[in-house]
Structure formats: structure tokens, C-alpha cells
Structure 1
């Protein structure tokens, strides 16, 4: 082939064409090219035509010039002009290419072409984040003003970023970490106390298994005693309480049936469920407090916080005292159950007395059983065991086996007498085993002796309700007193010590798996919480089955606040009419809150904290700057901002961003317009221009279209914020430096990552988005209009729209992705503003759903054969780079299918490749989950409309290259 580039109209006198033609080349440009041919010729064609002209009929005297040596001055002159023409035609072609959007290579060209259609290159958008402030414990109520600055701690390769609060925040120290209510008063009865644990205050109760407990269920001054044994003891040192299980007084140790927490009853069927749970997005909260839907019935329900707030408003004297009084006001009687630990277990005096010989047989060496006198209470205690009177009044005395100094006589001193079965023999009645409780009226120490002559110092108890009185029959009482079994087997449990009850822990989880909005009861009474306030909910998820220690954080909005008490269930069972609910015994007033949207996850209640000092913040730092002095002699006076880039925040406008620039001339605010052509001579307006370095300039009018700024020294001032782009998308917990610290502020943190930040349009993005300005014209009619509008919205990289059926109606589903695959959180300003703009500019009667696209993993295995003399070490990196460039996120579209031939074509274009054999697969996230197990997912090449498949250089194994021999 010849290297002639004359497009078939050669006049260059080269060997291939002979220089016969003198017609200039004609450029032909097929449609859809990324560059156009617009050159009149090249150096070779220009030189050839000029040299050929020396021999033409119109050459005149120049025909006498026969030399064609380049050293000849005449030929050298033609050579110089050929060089000049080549340069001119080259730049002329470049200028022609810069005049078309598809072929322009300079960002300035695209910027100016876009302005012709009214499109301004997207300036980028600032990231948004929600900050949680921490206040000193002794700080009072304070207001954190708008513009309070905080900074991030940069990671490797990052720079410190500044964020400013976008709203005023009323903050209080009590709101640093609010806990949900974790305990409630114990409601126990004799019917269920064995089946439920009992919680005692403290961890030093000194109780152990089989210890005796006396429980009084009496009310109204009456006693209803029941006796139990300790079945189990568990210490909860963190909560400062002891959990004990009870069993019946006699019998086996027994077992206690406790309901397992809900998170122990769940089980996973597959890892896929785990990944789906981890990947669930938080629910979309209202955009701000003004967009919160309020229900008057809910706002003025009984116990609503509006009532004490109104009282404080009408009676200022209540302001500092009302809530302190309410929090300490008992609304129900204390818990009626009283528990006593019986620390002493004592046998009766002479319980170990031996059998004595019958009178007159003391000297016999061998005694038969009938000759024994067995010990009983009657013959060992003597007159101390005499029953008073002739009626069944019982025995008012109890003699213990030794001295017990710890037994006292007071109002709460009780003894439990455990009596064994007594066989009445002959005519005496049998006496069943029994347990009785008695108040100790008097305690004394005395010396008692047995008939055998043993004398011991013992403790004698006078009981107010006589012992054995429960038998109700004197013959039975005498049977006990005359029984050796009663003497040896009776045990007296004394030294009753009252145990203070603790509140029982609440086991129910926080959140509802059915997505219902429920109330959250807080651990106290909180003043000042108002609907519309942002909250962070932090805790350990309990909806993960057997997987523990999975922490989560949700941003939620407060919808309603009321103050009330926890009520009993009021259910008797058995189909009977349940009694009305009543406050739990000993209950006090707590605050109940309702969220605008249900929690997306379920949490272990004990792990949850709620942060209420939360405020929205955006990326950027405020600058106060003197731009200069006005000069009315200049038309379109231009002044540049000294700091950059200018911050634009997300907004529900057509462009998706609002500038933070405010310009004042002589103290008067001037307004930024898109263009000055429609402004009159009195309009205080200006436009802004951005150069390639993202430096912003303010351009004023010429007196005909917009005012010229009045003259003065430094009378033009600007307030704006600088800082924008993906650098503001810092991770969770990175914003920890409170640059501005109002008095009382201890610190700040962002529990969730910042999101929504996007860089200004690059060349390819501007080329793609510029035509969109004339596609929708500020109104959304067709389905494609929704996609075009979303694609041109600041911060959005890709968008598509489809029509689907929902509840029998047509609905538009818009699927979006962030620029460079930056994550877009549903609660970010970017997502909320785009949704609001779509609804405002579209059909209000048409159902609309905005969703994030699902990323698919695109993988390529290519076996490549090389052309001779090429090295694999040089070709393989270029193949990999070409694949990432042609099939990376930037070049792929949402819903675009994967074609094997396109992958082959990309590889074939790399210099040195002879041919390639490829295998292409796409993997959904569900298939990636399957790959976590030993099973290998098959992978498919199908891409759904709401999915995008692309290669990512972050995972090198997605592109596997092999050299064919």
C-alpha cells in the first residue's frame, strides 16, 4: 500500500499516482464518528499540487523552472508554504471538530456548546451527612447555630474535609445517649412464681441452691405467705441484680422453664438469608420536619407531651419543676410481693437425744426395745412443752438446739416451721407433714436439760401465732408432741432477712419484622423531645439468626411523643372477659416515642442507644470575602472568587444543585441568574462562570442587560462556601473534630457515612449530558423524560426509566446510579431531592418509584494468541487496561446486555493480538452469595433493566488472561 493520503484525488506527483490529478481532496464523514475529517490537504498533498502546477498550462514563465531539487530556493519556498498550509489545515480541522459536541476534545468547547442549549456543566454537589453532638454532662440546654463547623480525620491518601451544620440544633446533655426502657416492675403471683425467675437487687444476696425463701403475696395489711426453695442463682453484675429460680418447698430440685430470647429461636436456612439481611437498606424517612405527616389524634392522645408543654407555657413557674415532679410521681402502688431469706435452719432442742432405759432398768446390761423410753418433745422439754388451756391454741414456744444470736424479734422477724409426717400409732391420729409461718414475738436465751441430765444453753422463741395451731385439734397436737419423729425431723427456719426486689429485664426486641410502626418506651421521662427531631438508633441486630455482634445504625425521625406508664396485659385466659389493663405495681411515668417510619432492623433491646442531638450537615466551609470595588465604566465587570471550588448543595431544582454564593454590593443582595440576556437595565443580577480549574468568577451586567455595579472601594462582598465533590463522602465515624465548639459541646461524630457528593462534570459526562437540556424542557411527560431528567441531575451518573404495572395502574420506575459508582444512600439529600423534583415536574397522578440499580459482577476469561515478535508481558497489561476502559462503569449503561463479540472486539484492537477465545459471565449478588459456600455458581449473561454489569479493577480476578501456545 502507498502512504499517499490524498483520498483518491492525488496531485502529489508520487510514484503511485504520477501527479496527474490536481483536484483538492474531498472529505467524507460517515455519521456517528468521534472525529471528522476537515482538512484541505496535508503537507504532501499541498507540496505535490504546487509542484505539479509548475508544469501546468497556467504556470507561465514558471514552466521554464525544470529543477525539482528541494535545495533550490523556488522549490524550498513551495516546501515552506506546504508546511504552513499543513499547519493551517490541521488547526482548521481541529477547530471544526471543536464545533461539534460529539467530536470536541476540549472541555471549554463542550462548555460553550452546552451553553447554546441552556445547559450548564454540572458543578458537582456537596456531600450531606448527619452529625450527632455530645454535650458535657453538666451543660444546660443550648442551641448549636447554623454553620457550626466540624472536620473529618483523613485516612491514607485523603485530606481533611470541613462540614457545616445546615439547621439550628437544640441540644441537651440528657439526649447524648438515650436508652430504651430495659426493665419493669415484677408482677408475680403464687400461681406463676415458680415458672418465672425472680429478680433481686444486688449481687451479694448470699443465696445458694436449696436455701429457704418466704414470700408474702398479701395486700392491704394482710399476709399471704408461701414457702419456696432456691432452685437456681445467677448473678448479673452489670445490671446489679440476682436472678433466682424457685421450686416447691419439698420434693425434687425441679427445673425451671424459661423462654429463650427471640434471637435464639431463629435459624438460618442458608447464607443467602444472611447476606440479604445485611444488605437491607434503611427505610426512607421524611425529608425534614416540615414534610412530616402529623395526625391530630396522635398529637393529642391521652398522655401526649403537648399537655405538659402547654402547662409550662401558661404557667412559667412550672418550667423548671414539672418534669422533675412527674418523673418521681408514683402512679400505682408498689409491688405487693415481699421476699424473705431465712438464713438459719435449726433443729429443735433435744433432737439428738438418745433413747433412755425405762425407769428401774438402768442397771440392766441388755435392753430390749420395749424397755426403751423414746425421746419426744413432751419428755425432753418438760413443762416448756405444755399446751396452754384445754382448747386447740397450739404451743406458743419453740426451743432451738443451741444459741442463735442472729435471730431477732421485730415486725419482720418470721420463722417457718417444717414439720414431718407423724404416725399416731394405736389410737392416736396420724398427723400429715406441714409447714407454718409465725411472727417472732420474743427471743431469749435459756438453759434447758434433758431427762438424761444433759444441759444446754439454747434460744427460745415466743411466736405470736402459736405453733401447731394450724392442726386445729388438740389430739393431733399431742400426737406431734409425743412423737419422736416430730422431735427429730422438725426444722425451724429463722432469721428472716427482707430481700429488695429489682425490676425484671424486658426481653422483647426493638423493632417489628412486619414493618409496623410501634412505640418505643424510653428509660425515663424526657422533656423537650419534639416531633420532627432526627435520631440515631444504634444497637446489635437480633434479626440475623444465630449470627451475633452485628451492629447497625439507623437514622430515624421522631413523629410523636407521649408520657405514660406500662400497663398489665389484663388477660385471664380460658375465654373469660379479660379485666381492663392496669398500671404495673410501682410503675412511674416514662416517655414513649413514635417514629415516622418503622425501624428497618430488629435490635437486642439491651444494646440499643438513641442519640437525639442530631443535625444535618453539608460539605464545605464558609468564606467571607471582599471581591473588590465596583467600576461602572466597565461593561460585564468580572471578579473572581479567591477560594474554590464553589460549593453547590443538593436541591430539588431542575439542575439538582443550588449555589451557596451570596453577593452584596453596598450591602444590597444581588441575585444570580442563568443568563443576563432577559434582564433589564435595573436588574441587580449577575452570572457565574467557571474555568477548567474550577475557579468561579462573578460577571455583572453592561447597563442594558443587568446593572453595572456602582463605584466604590471594596464595596462588593461575597459569602460562599468552598469544598465539593466525592472527597466529602467520608466514612462513618470519620467526622470527630468539632472545629467550632459552643460552650457545653464535648464532641461530635457521624454514625453514618456521608454520601451524595459528586465531582464536576468531566468531558465525557458533559458531552453525554449536554443534549439533555433540550430533551425535557423542565417538564416530564414521557417515560424517557424521567430518565433524561434524572441523568442530568447533579450527582447522578446513570439513569433509566421503565413503565410497570402497580395495583392495576401504570407506574414509572426510575433506576439510578451515582457518578463513578459512588454510593447514593436513600436518606441522602441527593436521593430525596431527586425524588422530590421528579414528583414536582412529573405527572402528580402517576405513581413513581425511585430505586438504586443493582450491580452485577462481569467476569472475563480470555485465551489470547499473539502475533509474531510481540511479548506477552507487554500485551497483557494493555489488554487488561482496554477491557477496563471499554467495559468499566463509565462506559456501561443500566440494563445494557453483555455481548461476547464486544469483548472480543476490544481485545482484537490491542496491538499484537492475533485472535482471542473468551468466556464471559455475569454474576448477580445472589449468585455471589452462593459462591460463599462450596457450591460454584454457574453465572449467566442476562442483565435485567434495573441492573448494570461492568468490570471493576478493584478485583483483578474478574479479568483472567491466558497466553495460547
Structure 2
């Protein structure tokens, strides 16, 4: 018999405790010293090898034996205990924990609080109803009320507005978080779209009031400017129906650009020692010459002179220049010849052979007097009676005023007929030297005066523009006031966009309000479609609630209370975490302060801490009398005011918030022209696992290049970040590319962008130049052939592959600046059960050349002398795709 090492005769042996070995980097660790089978086998083996005589007598191994049943029970107990022991151990490490509570408690050990989320932010624009305004409301304050002056409505913080929910949505409440002054004048301000026409005689285009002037190509237009008179021939006519204006084009003259005056200012109004009455003469005589008046100088003038802002505004707007009255435009309705133009020549001799000899008549015309070839009853004399005459050989018409006009019968030059005799005024004197001139002269008459329109400014409000001139004078606009600018995009007909801007400077310029914004326009707008609303307030998601927490008890230390409503609203700010709570606690009507922890607080400090449970409940805790003050004894003396509502439910569409909940007097409508942004749900476990360590790296300060990236990643509302050094003309700068929650872009004029920039500047090394940009999205596509095993259904395997690829290359699992490798794509596909092999034919960036690339490069910033382009994040193209079966 041959002996082997098969172990068949070994019998039952000890199988627990199992030796535990875990390599580094595991997402889960083994910690069980055995399971049910291991424990039962080990106990049974103990019976066999035991040195105790009593146990040796227990020879049966049947499960219905009491001893074996007891062993079985202890084996089950050990199995359960070791299972939970392993789970507890896994929950004790940040990498392996699977419960949010475990991650939260582990993070708290290093001073990191899971981000509670942040409320969406937007700007609400309000419309005031002027027709319903009545005095006497507490929310109204008037300044020098006079006549029909529109009052300033002081809208205090906390005005509530609600969204109109779409399918499967709930109404969301937003509240304003700042006080603003509002006026009905500011509902829809227009930009200056017209200027006075100048140099009409030499312009290639002029504008006339109305569209029913019956002007057509070939008509002659007379332009009178002072003593100069010019006749122009119409080449083209356009009817501008939207502004009730006729646009007339002339020939052979260059097109002039719109005239805008150069503004200068001589500050004199505010410094008159003695007040004087405000009148039209004051505006035209004193205000008129002062082309530019800053808002500060204007307010000084109003105060010193004791002028009503309303009366001043009305006077300025009513005295704004109209078209220069010295300039007049006429159209000639009739073209005529001079009497005698068709007269036969005088016969002087008839020869025997019948030949006739003729000679011209002797000219018989009076200087500065003409006779037209027919009766023209419409011709008038006086200020608006003009006639334009042109002799053969003249390059231009000579224009005269008509002194008198009469219908007379005429017999001259061998003919008789009706005529119109006209006496002329003006120089040079009109005379004819021969009949040839008379026969070929032209007379345009029946001048009809036209109304001169203001010239429309056809140029758009260009992208990058900061200086905007409004259509009239608007009183009370202030520096740092927010405005919403809406209009049709110039190169995208029908598309309306809205931008939020801040007024940097406001002035009265040439009797118009001029505003200068802090940043240039992001779009180019069609000028006459632009509307500006200055009744704008910052608002955040969440509704204010007030509750009594309970009664204070000076005998208790670390007394705590739980808020009734969840979730508590946290709003974005420029702190290290990027958010702060909306909780305000008053004890005996005295406001106490929220702090992150009690360490270092004095016994009499009125402070409290806020802690959030895994279920989202919020607990308020007060001090113990050593670190922070205890609560004073009282009955129901602890009150809380806070807001409820947070997260992505506040990411609504533009114009969706349109229902007023609270309605101050005069307030008519509300809207959100800009979609809410910056919202973030409470921090999920994977984000917390990542961000908890980042807080240790930065310790709320930014020194190294990586610190900029880590700080941004842990900032509320920011999901991904990439920092790089960049050399620019100004030297070395830090370039930071960021991405918002759920792949949203971070607009440069958004509150989140400002908060992040402000926080980095606050906690970073002074003097370091920083450039922040939102990431750029790019997509890639895959084309290939797939072979699966004979026992598998192709479509099911195919669908599993598509799902795995979409998950692997989704926004959540992609990183800014990460390249896409062909080998990685193949590895994901071939790891799917049932796949024999995959043949990739094409791997390319969407919109690029459709070919097979081994690596798709994610561009990490692209800087030129003039522009800097943000880093890219590459994801799988969301459009459907399939692999061919082979």
C-alpha cells in the first residue's frame, strides 16, 4: 500500500481561529476568525482530542444529541458575533466604512463635518404696479414727494416667492436675503437707441417720422440747414414699421456712423451758494451745458438746492434735445418744365422749293421770376414754399423760396396756355440767357415738409460693453446696485438671454443716465430689444420658520434641543467650507452665536454648536459653564428662526419662480430670469470619504499648488477641481479649473464663483495671482465589433457592456484632465461575463476625425497671449451606440 499526503484519514481538525492577513488598499477587510462550519468542526475536534475523561465518553456525533446541539448553538452564536465584529472593524476605517454615520463619526475625529449641502441661489426681478400705488404703507418711504412721484419701495429681506412645479415636481420656495429699494420706473428701463441727426445734407441716410409719407425712389428731397439748402435724389426707401420711421437712402455719399457726443463735466450746480428755483430755464441754462454729472455730485446738488428728485427728473426728461428745429426736410411732389419749353421755333422764310428757315425766339424772362408750363394749385409760398431749379449744364439744383405764386394765362413764344407764375427769393438771382436754357430747365415744386425723426442707433450692445446709456434720466440708481440685462442675442435671432450685473458708476450724461458695470456684457444684444430691471434681489432656496425650542435650565450643562423641521437651509458663503447655516438662536431675546466647537470658549460666551444626525435632524447644543455659557433658567425662553429646504430640488429653470407668497404693497409680479445655481445635496459617503482627508491636507489654508485643488474640491457647491501653474505675460499664476455639482458649469458672474474666489483669496498666500474658470466638456465615441460566447444572448451582454462603459465614463467617475486610453476601454469590455473578444475600429473625440486613437488627450488649459482656455473633462458621448456582432 502506497501512502499519500491527501489528508483523507486526518479526521476532524481545529479550523478556528483562522489566521487573518489583509493587504493594503482593500475596499473591505477580513476580520472573522471563523464561520459556523469552522466553529462547529473545531468544537467537535476538541471532543475527540480532549484529555478530560468525562468528554471522552461523549462518543456520538449525531445532531439530535444534546451535547452536539449545544455545540451547534454556540457555533451559530460565534458565527453571528464574528460577522458583526468584522462589520464593526470595517466601519472603523474611512476607506472600508459603508455606513454614512460611520464616515461622519470618523471624519469628526479629525474635525471634518460632512457638508450639509447648500441651497440654490438666484436673482429675483420684481415688477411694481404704479397704478395701484397708495401712500401710508410701512414698507414705503418717499423722498420729497411731489405731484405724481413714484415712491421708493423698501423691500426688506425675506420676501417669499414660489415656483410653478412641472411634472413630478414640488413647489419650491425662495426668499430674498437682502434689503433693496425698488421703483416702478426701474421695471423695464430701455437703453438709448436714438440720437439727433446731424449733417443731413451730406449724410447718405436720413430718417423721417411716419411710414405713410409716400416717398419713393427717384423723388427729390430738399434739406435746409440754416442758410444752406441741398437737393438729394432718393435711391432707396425702407419703412421701419416697429419704430414708425421712414429710412431714406441717397446716392453717391459715404455712410456715416451714429454720432455720440464726447462727455465732459464741469461741476458747478452743487456749489451755488444760494438756492434757486428749479425750472425749465434752470435745466436748459445751467444743467444743459454740464454734459456729465456723477451720482454723488447730483445728490449733492439736489440736497443743497433743495430740489425734488421727481421734479428734477421730469424737467430733465422733458428738456432732452429733439431734432434741431433749424434743420428742415421737404419732398418735392411735382416736377415741371418752364412755360415755352415746347414752343415751336419762329419761321423766318419759306423757299420756293418748300424749305423752311426758322430761328429761336428771343428770350423774354424776368430775373427771379419763372413761369411754369401749367397750373399747379398746390404750390404755396411762405416759410415752407420752396422750388428747386436746374439749368442744362448745372451739376446741382439751385433752391429758392417762393415769394408769391399765381395762376395766370400766358401768351408767349408763339403759344398760349395756362401757367403758374412764381416770384423767387434767394441768391444767386435766377435768369435765363437763351431759349435753349428755357427748354431744358427743370423745376421741382410743391414742397411738402417732413417730420425729422431721431436717428436709430443700429449698432448692437457689443459683447464686453461696460458703458450703457439709458433712454432717459432715471433718478436714485446707486453704485453697487444689481441689475438684470435682457435682450435678443445679436447673432442668434429669437434667442433671449439675461445677464446679472453690478453698477460700478452711475452718472447723468448729456441729460441721460449712464451706467458703467463692473464686468462687460457676456453677449452681444440687439439694442432695441434690451430691457434692464433694477428691482433685483438676491434670493436663496428655503422657507423661514420660527419655533420655540423650550426652556433653559441653568442646572444643566450641554443642554440640547432638536429642531422640528428638516432639512435646515445652508447658504453659500466665502468661508473655508463654502456654506453657513441659516439658524438664529435667541435666548431671552438676546442673539447667541453659532460656533464650530466649544473648545477655547469662555464661561460667559453666548455660543452654541450645531450637529446634524445621519437622518438629517439638527441638534442645538449649549455650553457647560466652563466652555461656553449655560442657558439661563426660564420658561420657553429659547427661540429659533431658521429656514428649511436645500439641495438640487432648488435647481429650477429660468422664469419658473413666478408666484408671490409674501406681497409688500405695490409689488405686482416676480420672476427669475436667471436659472438658480450652486445647489448641492448633502454630502454623500464617497464624497465624504474623499473630502475628509483633504481637510487635513489644507487645514483651512492654501500654500502649495495642490492645496488650491484640494480646497476647491471640499468647497460647498464644487464637485471637481484641477490646479496647474501657468506662465502669463504678468508672470506665474495659479490656474484653477472647477466643476459644479452634477456637472454644472460655474458662471463667472455667479454667487458661487464669487464665494469660491473670495474664500481662496482669504485663505491663500497673499500676492499669488489666481485665475478660475469653469471646466470644458468633451465627449468621445466608440465603434467596434463584439464576439460573445455561444451560450450567451448577444443583446444582454451588449447592454451590460454599454451600462459599464457609461458608468465608467460618466461625469461622476471622470476627472478633469484625465486621458482616455484604448487599453482601459478594452479592459472594461472584456471584463464583462460572456465576452470572447472585442475589436475596436474607432475611438475618437466627438466632432473630430473618426479614427482609432490609442489615447484621447484631455487638454489641461490652453493659454495664448490673449485668452486662457480651461481644462477639459472627457466623458462618453450620451448618444446611443452599438457594437456589431461577429
Aligned to 2:404: 442
Q: Output the TM-score relative to the length of structure 2.
A: 0.84
1:879-890 paired onto structure 2 within 5 Å: 879-890=801-812
Q: 1:15 to 1:837 in 2, by over 3 A?
A: farther
Q: 1:451 to 1:657 in 2, by over 3 A?
A: closer
Structure 2 residue 336 is matched with structure 1 residue 346: yes
Matched-pair contact (CA < 8 Å) for 1:922–1:942: no
- CA distance in 1 between counterparts of 2:420 and 2:321 reads 45
- CA distance in 2 between counterparts of 1:16 and 1:707 reads 75
Please state whether the residue corresponding to 2:127 is helix, strand or coil. Answer: strand
Please state whether the residue corresponding to 2:721 is helix, strand or coil. Answer: strand
Deviation at 1:34, TM superposition (A): 1.0
Please state whether the residue corresponding to 2:813 is helix, strand or coil. Answer: coil
Give deviations 1:780-803, integer Å, cap 9, x for gaps: 222222222222111222223333
| More off after superposition, 670-679 vs 75-84 | 670-679
Please state whether the residue corresponding to 1:310 is helix, strand or coil. Answer: helix
Deviation at 1:922, TM superposition (A): 5.7
Matched-pair contact (CA < 8 Å) for 1:541–1:552: yes
Matched-pair contact (CA < 8 Å) for 1:626–1:716: yes
Deviation at 1:337, TM superposition (A): 3.1
Aligned to 1:172: 183
- CA distance in 1 between counterparts of 2:661 and 2:302 reads 36
Aligned to 1:599: 521
Please state whether the residue corresponding to 1:320 is helix, strand or coil. Answer: helix
Aligned to 2:636: 714
Aligned to 1:569: none
| More off after superposition, 65-74 vs 861-870 | 861-870
Gaps of 5+ in 1: 1-12, 248-254, 262-299, 379-384, 388-393, 422-431, 472-476, 566-588
- CA distance in 1 between counterparts of 2:356 and 2:575 reads 110
Structure 2 residue 879 is matched with structure 1 residue 955: yes
- CA distance in 1 between counterparts of 2:230 and 2:809 reads 78
- CA distance in 1 between counterparts of 2:9 and 2:330 reads 118
Matched-pair contact (CA < 8 Å) for 1:134–1:746: yes
Structure 2 residue 449 is matched with structure 1 residue 525: no
- CA distance in 1 between counterparts of 2:255 and 2:456 reads 13
Structure 2 residue 216 is matched with structure 1 residue 208: yes
Structure 2 residue 136 is matched with structure 1 residue 149: no
Which of 305, 308, 313 is the matching residue for 1:315? 305
Q: Output the TM-score relative to the length of structure 1.
A: 0.78
Aligned to 2:143: none
Aligned to 1:119: 112
Aligned to 1:3: none
Q: 1:819 to 1:602 in 2, by over 3 A?
A: closer
Matched-pair contact (CA < 8 Å) for 1:186–1:335: no
Q: 1:762 to 1:962 in 2, by over 3 A?
A: farther
Gaps of 5+ in 2: 1-5, 134-149, 259-289, 862-870
- CA distance in 2 between counterparts of 1:828 and 1:939 reads 39
Q: 1:944 to 1:614 in 2, by over 3 A?
A: same
Aligned to 1:264: none
Q: 1:55 to 1:133 in 2, by over 3 A?
A: same
Deviation at 1:205, TM superposition (A): 1.9
- CA distance in 2 between counterparts of 1:24 and 1:728 reads 54
Matched-pair contact (CA < 8 Å) for 1:185–1:335: no
Aligned to 1:47: 40
Please state whether the residue corresponding to 2:616 is helix, strand or coil. Answer: coil
1:851-930 paired onto structure 2 within 5 Å: 851-860=773-782, 863-867=785-789, 869-917=791-839, 921=843, 923=845, 928-930=846-848
Aligned to 1:390: none
Aligned to 1:942: 857
Give deviations 1:137-169, integer Å, cap 9, x for gaps: 546232222121222233334332222222222
Aligned to 2:248: 244
Structure 2 residue 379 is matched with structure 1 residue 407: yes
Deviation at 1:91, TM superposition (A): 0.9
1:671-690 paired onto structure 2 within 5 Å: 671-690=593-612
Structure 2 residue 747 is matched with structure 1 residue 825: yes
Aligned to 1:188: 199
- CA distance in 1 between counterparts of 2:505 and 2:391 reads 60
Q: 1:797 to 1:465 in 2, by over 3 A?
A: closer
Matched-pair contact (CA < 8 Å) for 1:663–1:669: yes
Aligned to 2:97: 104
Aligned to 2:75: 82
Which of 449, 453, 461 is the matching residue for 2:422? 461
Deviation at 1:618, TM superposition (A): 1.4
Q: 1:464 to 1:161 in 2, by over 3 A?
A: same
Matched-pair contact (CA < 8 Å) for 1:898–1:949: no
Please state whether the residue corresponding to 2:190 is helix, strand or coil. Answer: coil
Matched-pair contact (CA < 8 Å) for 2:782–2:843: yes
Which of 657, 677, 685 is the matching residue for 1:735? 657
Q: 1:939 to 1:929 in 2, by over 3 A?
A: farther
Aligned to 2:229: 225
- CA distance in 2 between counterparts of 1:860 and 1:16 reads 58
Deviation at 1:31, TM superposition (A): 1.0
Structure 2 residue 437 is matched with structure 1 residue 505: no
Tell me the number of residue pairs that the alignment of Structure 1 and Structure 2 aligns: 823
1:259-658 paired onto structure 2 within 5 Å: 302-329=292-319, 334=324, 336-349=326-339, 351-352=341-342, 368-370=355-357, 378=364, 387=366, 394=367, 396=369, 398-420=370-392, 435-449=397-411, 456=417, 458-464=419-425, 469-471=429-431, 477=432, 479-480=433-434, 483=435, 485-486=436-437, 488-511=439-462, 519-542=467-490, 548-549=493-494, 551-565=496-510, 589-632=511-554, 635-658=557-580
Please state whether the residue corresponding to 1:321 is helix, strand or coil. Answer: helix
Deviation at 1:632, TM superposition (A): 4.9
Aligned to 2:273: none
- CA distance in 1 between counterparts of 2:397 and 2:877 reads 80
Matched-pair contact (CA < 8 Å) for 1:511–1:518: no
Which of 685, 688, 706 is the matching residue for 1:784? 706
Deviation at 1:773, TM superposition (A): 2.6
Deviation at 1:43, TM superposition (A): 0.1
Deviation at 1:136, TM superposition (A): 2.9
- CA distance in 1 between counterparts of 2:840 and 2:553 reads 67
Please state whether the residue corresponding to 1:55 is helix, strand or coil. Answer: helix
1:839-850 paired onto structure 2 within 5 Å: 839-850=761-772
Please state whether the residue corresponding to 1:311 is helix, strand or coil. Answer: helix
Q: 1:949 to 1:561 in 2, by over 3 A?
A: closer
Give deviations 1:52-111, integer Å, cap 9, x for gaps: 111113343121122111122221221111111111111111111111111111111111
Q: 1:171 to 1:808 in 2, by over 3 A?
A: closer
Deviation at 1:464, TM superposition (A): 4.5
Matched-pair contact (CA < 8 Å) for 1:406–1:495: yes
- CA distance in 2 between counterparts of 1:258 and 1:738 reads 51
Matched-pair contact (CA < 8 Å) for 2:217–2:235: yes
| More off after superposition, 851-860 vs 685-694 | 851-860
Give deviations 1:506-534, integer Å, cap 9, x for gaps: 2434236xx5x653222222222222122
Please state whether the residue corresponding to 2:695 is helix, strand or coil. Answer: helix
Matched-pair contact (CA < 8 Å) for 2:584–2:642: yes
Please state whether the residue corresponding to 1:597 is helix, strand or coil. Answer: coil
Q: 1:951 to 1:506 in 2, by over 3 A?
A: closer
Q: 1:17 to 1:34 in 2, by over 3 A?
A: farther
